[in-house]
Each structure stands twice: as structure tokens, then as C-alpha cells.
Structure 1
């Protein structure tokens, strides 16, 4: 784990970013998210945290920039930046779940004294992070330095007692600006866009564009074809838990609900099943930007007639998996993985393919996390 000096530098930089006056970034051409405009003030920050595995989208096409950041999300993001190193033991909170996607991050944050609970056995996993809480977290990271109280905010009386010293320190050092009317707005929540901006400001504070990465880190891609949304849901969870990027395998001629009706002998999927030459499905895009940078590739698909849905074949055929670890996963209400992974491996001809996993559409995050842990990537 990085030393205290490194932590202090990180927190100081994040403090500099923690202001109601948001710094505008240069516009980007395409953020990859439908809800993040290329000219949005947070666009470059969103791209940055996604590309560096700190935050992923809430779906394949959305980032939800205005959604609030929860305490467990913030712990997870900081834990990833710190290198996601192994932790041991257990936390003392009654509202955390062993094996949950946030479990290691919450344990790390509490052991390091970065984020404590509410004092009544609760961590507040799903509670939004407020401005006074973030100020306190940063102050602790900086070593809880003393500072003169200086000028009070107009809403000083609304600041919780535990956060008063932290807020005084933040203002005395010019790291937090007041809103209109000299207000601090201590209980206002931070959005995902604001947190992304804070992280990017820190990680590029020295003028570089690449964060310090642990030497054993692997960059992850989760590529998937989803017919009804079940595979997409699992893919999103895998991306969130691994910090991976998402790539949706999309047919140039998308399947409609009628196309997917396997009980109709005249439907598209039935025709393609009965006529294997028709399974060569053209994709809207079959290659991934920066493909060579990915070390681990998850490939997800629904099971069709005991094998991987054939649009997946088109993606596998189009890419070179040399030097990559490839893990297939499928969704099915009844069928197992079968030979689908072996057939894709044979089709690829390259890569180190691991045994895959079948999930139900209702699979929980905890189940997916358990599987990911078993891979020991």
C-alpha cells in the first residue's frame, strides 16, 4: 500500500478539486456514454476514470453523472486507486455484507482510518457522501492537521461537530470555496461527475496523464452480446467489480423481439439455427479501441440451442487473443455453459482460455464476486 506521504498528496489534490467552482476540461470528441455530452464540463474526467479502471458506467451506454456517490462507492473507488491490495480480517459494521462487491474496500477504508462508521455499528453503505463527510475524509488522509477557524460560513451552525475542524482546515488552506451567500452546504451530496472530476484532478495534478499503477495490475475488457438484457446485466456487474471497460457486441442488423421468438418456426433465430451459413452475423463494430492494452477479456453471451449466440462468433473471429486471458460467461435459465466456451476457444485459435461460468438472469452481485475471486486474476 502506498505510504502516508503518497496518501496525503492524493488527498490534498482531491481537496483542491473539492470546490463548488468546477474547473472546465477541454472538450472530447466522444465520451462513449449517451448521457455525457462531449462538451460537458466533466466529460474528460469521466473518460479518464473509465479508461483507468477507477469508475465504470452504470450500463454499457450510460454513466449517470448526476447520480449521487454513495459511501461504499467512494470507498471502492479510492481502494482501486490505491491498488486493491489484499486485506484480511473483518469489519465491525452491521450493515455490510461479507462477500459483497464493496466488502474489501470498506474493510480497507476502515482499517486505514480513512472512512469510519456512524458510531452505532453502521457504515452507511448506500448513503450518499456529503460535502462535510468528504472534507473530513480528506482531512484525515492529510493527517488531521490543525488550522485556525478563520471566517465562519453563513451556515456554520449546520456543520456537524465531527467535521468542524476539517472544514476549518479546508477553508484556511483555500481548498474549499463557499457557494453563493458564503454557504458551505455541508449536507449536499457529491455526484458521480464531481467525484470523477476530483479523481482526475488528483491523478493529473503533476501534469502527467497516467496514474501510478500497481505492477501486477491487469486491464480488463468485458465484451458481451445481450439479446434480452440478462447478459448485459451480468456484464455490467463484472465491469463494475473489476474496474473493467465494457464493449457491447451489436449486430449491424439488430434482433427484434419477433426475431428472437424461438417458438416461431419462421423467426430469424430459428432460420439461422436451421441454416448455419446464415449465422455469419455482421457486427456494427467488431474491433475494440486500444485492444492491445487489454490483458483480460471476459466474453458474455446467451445460450442458443446449447451454444454461444452466434453474433459472439463474429466478434471472436475478428480479434487476435494472443497473450490474453479469456474468460467466457453465459446467461441461461436452464442450459449450462456446455461446449460453448470450448467452441469459441477453437474458433479463436489464440489466447489462454479459462473455464467459463453460467449465470441466471437474477444472479446477485455476491455470486458474481465469489466467482471473480475464484479466478485469482
Structure 2
């Protein structure tokens, strides 16, 4: 069983890696047999981009394939941060100096795996679903059980009961949880990804969602990037920010200015153009102060005249983002992000600025799925 402190540190490391790799890494990690709409796609993205699982070669993940017991030990070893180990294990069917050797030694010493008896580990045997759940249960510290386990082997009953009772096993998705059957690679990715995301939500990273939004009149024409959303006066950036906060548990912060921007679209454009021409730094009336309490800052804004509002420059000048991860998101009327992600990186060279999410103003009310998929890839 893993020490609780070490387990939390490992989870924080995984969360940091998942966020730190960003969307550019995800774009490079694609598998020909994993489609975006597949129920396991987000989990595969999460597990492979965090470096916990790999493909099977030739650009494939083999979601219906199995994972051997040695491979699964290696996944848990990576989840723990691949700690240094010395010595050899007591199994007669393993060998020293191979790709799985350190992982099996570590897993046996942590009492995560016990083998079959008679000195056998079953290195190349496929993992069953109840074996996976039992190892995960031990990794989690053997928490109390509260669900059904009538279909599990006796030795796995507590683990299966915990998995069902705690929601680790989500039987509403497209796989059937049958404890005694072999676990597919897709199932393993889904179960472990779900567990890690739940733990990450409780242990970090600490998230702030800062946004600048201006609500306009409902008669704004089709090129507005800050019009009324679903009859509300939120402004589009706030609409997206609230979805991100709902998913990440992050704290919302509204960037407000002394300038009261007009609700009329044409008048707003005039003010925005004047501010850009003057290279103005509008005075802010809301101030976040120190960012010491946050690790990741989502930053949202509309695109005005092909760039972000001048108020955003005031915000970036006021705050010290050194050592922070910045994840932009924006609304637009056809200009994408307007090159603003690169602008932010130039403004904050000591921060890690990720490629963000740009949502068309015509798609705001139907954007929940795209926002959710984006956050899935970020590890939330």
C-alpha cells in the first residue's frame, strides 16, 4: 500500500505534467484506431500524454487489446513517479534488467501485487478487471467498500465493492464491467484516468479563471464577439469562464475597468479602436493581487479588432505570472485567437503559456461539448 503523502505528491506530479504538456502535445499524440467520439478517447489522450500508457506501435493504441500484468505494474510505477529501487523481486518467472523489472519490484514491495503463489507473478498474463481494481484499491490505500461485489472473486470483493460504490467504475459508459473477464486497454485507460482526475480535483493544481467580458445589446450584428448569450447579459467570455470553473473547480475572477463600455456594437468598436490606437492601459477596478495561491490561470477575453481588448494588457502588466501556467480562451467573430496566445507569451516570458481554445461567437451556446473535450485533454 502506498504512503498517503507519497501518493498525493505523485498525483500532483501527474496533474502538473498533464497541464504542462498542453494542447500542442496532444495534437502530436494521435492513434489511427482511436476516434474523437469514442467513449475512451479522452481517457487515452490523458493517459498517453501524461506518459502513463503508450501505444502498441504503427500509430495504434489497440483499445480492444489487453495489458499484461508486467505492463500494468509499469503503469502504476509511472503513476508513482518511477521511484528508484534496488535489489530483485522474489518471483521465479521474472528477470532482472528488463523493461518491467523495477516496476514489478516496486509494486511487490508496495504490496500492490502478490503474484499467484508458488513464486509466480504471471508476467505475460493478461490482466483481469478485478485484478486491475484490486491493485488500484491497494494503491488508493484500501478505502472502505460500499458497492455490490457479488460477481467478483472472494479475494477481490472489497476492491470491487469500493470501485462500484465510489464511482471508480462508471457502468454508464460503453464498457461492461465484468470483474472476472480480461480488462481491455480502453477500460484500463478509462478507469485509471477517471481515478486520477478525481484525485487531482482534490489535491491540485490550484486554478484561477480570470475573464474580461462585456455584454452588448441583443441587436448586435453577426460580427460581435461579446453579444448577449441566451438572453443573459453575461458576455460571452464569462459564459465560457463559468463552464471552465464548473469543470475545474477553479475560482472565478472578473477583470473590470473604470471605463464603462457601450452596449451598442458600433460604439463599442469605436472605443476599442481608439484604445488600440492610443496604446491605452485602461484603469482596472478589480485587482487579484498576488497569484501565489494559484498554479494555473485560465485567461478569457473577446477579440476586438483582431486582438484582445486593451484591458487585458492592463491585467497582464499588473500581475506577476512568473512560474505560472497560463491557458487562454477567447471568443471571436471569425479571426480565431488573433495571434493573442503568442502575444501573451511575449508579455509573460517567465510563464508557461499554452495553446488555448478559441470559440466562434455563433457557437457559444452550443460550445459545452468543445469546452469539455478541451478540458479533457488538459486533464480536467
TM range (shorter): 0.3 to 0.5
Between Structure 1 and Structure 2, the one with more helix by share is 2
TM-score, scaled to structure 1 = 0.43
TM-score normalised per structure 2: 0.43
